[in-house]
């Protein structure tokens, strides 16, 4: 646990002025934290929102998948709120990782986040195109390849 103040003052040699880094106390309210947490778990919600895939893969146990996702959301949210008391930075998850595990691991976490968000984007667009293909073929009788739909 760090003993640094919520923000530090940096003196620039040229001007002698001080500038504050970090957030003012009380900047992040409960509403802002809730909206940030919901936005952060949006990829998980998008995956869980793929109900046809969940039900086709799991059948009668599909509700357990939703309960597991809800439990993970509660655990994530409570940990995020607990960390929000200690992290006084608007840097998102990188700031949280840096506070807990250090800058090197935070940089790796940022790289993984970019990789996973890009992969998730490609997967969701692919899934959309397959479902749209099935819908168009069923309703209009036109078979458009999923690759054409996604492009």
The yes-or-no verdict on residue 40 having pLDDT over 80 is no
pLDDT tens readout for residues 59-118: 888 888 878 888 988 898 888 888 888 887 777 788 888 988 999 999 999 999 999 989
Is there a contact between 120 and 41 (Cβ–Cβ < 8 Å)?
no
pTM score, whole prediction: 0.53
Residue spans per domain, the chain:
27-85, 92-151
Q: Quote the radius of gyration of the chain (alpha carbons, Å).
A: 22
Is there a contact between 20 and 11 (Cβ–Cβ < 8 Å)?
no
**Tell me, what's the pLDDT at 6?**
46
pLDDT tens readout for residues 11-34: 444 555 555 556 566 666 778 778
CA–CA dist 77, 30 (Å, integer):
12
The yes-or-no verdict on residue 8 having pLDDT over 80 is no
The yes-or-no verdict on residue 9 having pLDDT over 70 is no
CA atoms within 13 A on the CB side of 94: 11
CA–CA dist 94, 111 (Å, integer):
10
Phi, psi of 20 (to 5 degrees): -100, 140
CA–CA dist 132, 150 (Å, integer):
9
CA–CA dist 55, 47 (Å, integer):
13
pLDDT tens readout for residues 41-62: 776 666 666 777 777 777 888 8
């Amino acid at each position: 646990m760090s003993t640094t103040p919520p923000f530090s003052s940096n003196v620039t040699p040229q001007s002698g002025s001080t500038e504050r880094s970090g957030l003012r106390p009380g900047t992040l309210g409960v509403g802002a934290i809730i909206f940030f947490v919901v936005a952060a778990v949006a990829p998980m919600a998008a995956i869980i929102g793929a109900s046809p895939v969940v039900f086709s893969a799991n059948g009668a146990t599909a509700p357990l998948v939703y309960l597991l996702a809800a439990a993970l959301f509660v655990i994530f949210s409570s940990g995020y709120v607990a960390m929000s008391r200690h992290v006084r930075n608007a840097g998102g998850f990188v700031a949280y990782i840096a506070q807990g595990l250090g800058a090197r691991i935070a940089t790796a976490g940022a790289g993984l986040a970019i990789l996973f968000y890009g992969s998730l984007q490609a997967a969701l667009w692919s899934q959309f195109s397959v479902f749209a293909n099935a819908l168009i073929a069923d309703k209009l009788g036109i078979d458009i390849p999923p690759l054409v739909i996604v492009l």
